[in-house]
Amino acid sequence: MSAPGASAEPWPLWEVFVRAGRGLSHVHVGSLHAPDSDMALRNARDLYTRRNEGTSIWVVPAEAITTSDPDAKGAFFESPAGKNYRHAVYYTASEGVKHL
């Protein structure tokens, strides 16, 4: 059985980011399908903020997202290792001194 419209292009995929409140970043919450960005925003509002979860929404076409190469993750994220001096906890001599 072939349904009418079965061969039609499906609506594209959008990634959804929601800002839970003022002062917070937009955080990825999931994805949805919509024909265009206007409808994607509205669907995101209906789908991901039914319980007051958001004050602002971003929708991004999933295909517009570039991801770092997972095969190169060692090389890509190796550099910060061995640079503990970037973290405050590295500096132990000043422990106990106030306002530092």
Partner 1 sequence: MDELTLSDELAGAGGVATTDVAEYALWLGDDALILSQQLGWWISRAPELEEDVALGNIALDLIGHARSLLHYAGTASGRTEDDLAYWRTEPEFRSAWLFEQPNGDFGHTIARQLVASVYLFELYSRLRASSDATLAAIAEKSLKEVDYHRDHAVQWILRLAGGTDESRRRITVALADVWPYVDELFRDEPLIDRLEGVAVRPSTLRPAFDDVIVGVLSEAGLQTPAGFIASGGGRRGSHFTTMGYLLAELQVLARQHPGASW
Partner 2 sequence: MTTPADLTAVTEPSPDERQFDDLIAADSRIEPRDWMPDAYRKTLVRQISQHAHSEIIGMQPEANWITRAPSLKRKAILMAKVQDEAGHGLYLYSAAQTLGTPRDEMTEALIAGKARYSSIFNYPTPTWADMGAIGWLVDGAAICNQVPLCRASYGPYGRAMVRICKEESFHQRQGFEILLELMRGTDAQRAMAQDAVDRWYWPALQMFGPPDDASPNSAQSMAWNIKRFSNDELRQRFVSMLVPQAEVLGVTLPDPKLRLDEETGQYEMSEIDWTEFNEVLAGRGPMNAQRLQRRRDAHEDGAWVREAAAEYARKQAAAREVAA
Residues of the shown chain interacting with partner 1 in the complex, contacts defined by CB under 8 A: 11, 32-35, 38-39, 42-43, 46-47, 50-52
Q: Shortest approach of partner 1 to residue 17 CB, angstroms?
A: 17
E-assigned strand segments in the chain? 13-19, 26-33, 56-61
67 or 79, CB closer to partner 2?
67
Spatial neighbors of 68 by CB under 8 A, at least 6 apart, are 76
CA distance 16 to 30: 6
> Which positions touch partner 2 (CB under 8 A)?
1, 3-6, 8-11, 13, 29-33, 35-36, 39, 47, 50-51, 67, 70
